Amino acid sequence: MERRVALITGGARGIGKAIAMQLARDGWTIAICYRTSQDATQHTVQAIQNIQSTDDNILAVKCDVSDAEAAKALVEQVQGTWNRIDALINCAGPYHRVPLLEETVEGWNAMFQNNLHPVFYLSREIAEGMKERRWGRIINFSMANADQMIAQTHVTAHYIAKSGVLILTRSLAKTLGPYGITVNAISPGFIDSGSAPAEELATMVKRIPAGYIGDVSDTVSAVKFLLSDEARYVNGTNIHVSGGWGI
């Protein structure tokens, strides 16, 4: 059986890196894309090469997946290298905090261009190959409480985009389900992934029912389940990885 191939956006750092490292340990072939994190990407690639004792099963591509043509070229490069993509894991999802009425048009648009649109662009491109093989996994990252549709005065566009990811996830699940493809979302809460200041995380502990900040391994475990054959009948769902925050 050919090694399964995973394409992970945002795979150079944080949760994306942790997923890439675990899948490398599990024997997957890994493609990661990055936009600006070249040094971090090199470290991640080296770590995966060390795990697998080869450089044949890791590919890192600089790509702005908010551009539809660039996303298409990325998929073509990965498929051209290994002739398949079995799993698409959409981890890229930058955000910024700014009061709603102080948000710029450019900042507003960037949140949708980088959090929502790439999920559509990449899913559309990889779908045909998955349909032909009658097997595939797409995992999208939203955020805990995005399904609540509550007011968010400082991350408004990001929040709306992440809510949109959930709707797109369900729509893709219904569209691709007949072909043996599952599409699910993971919604992390406060995870110590290196992207948030330690003091900010510390102030949130009292609002988390579990009583502690999550680790990247918590999200990796959810990804491993959704990629497995044990999750073959799990489609269109949203898994909260938040210790109870945001529900």
Q: Which residues are catalytic?
A: 159
| Residue reference for tokens 């050919």 | 2
Q: 185 and 142 in contact (C-beta within 8 Å)? A: yes
Q: What is the CA radius of gyration of the chain?
A: 17
Sort residue 169 into left (φ over 0), alpha (ψ -120 to 50) or beta.
alpha
CA 200 from centre of chain? 23
Amino acid at 105: V
> What is the torsion angle, in degrees rounded to the nearest 10, for the CA atoms of residue 44, residue 45, residue 46 and residue 48?
90
The angle at the Cα of 242, spanning 241 to 245, to the nearest 5 degrees, equals 145
Adjacency order of strands within the sheet including 58-62: 58-62, 29-34, 5-9, 87-90, 136-141, 181-188, 238-241
Comparing CA positions, the residue from 34, 30, 10, 9 lying closest to residue 20 is 30
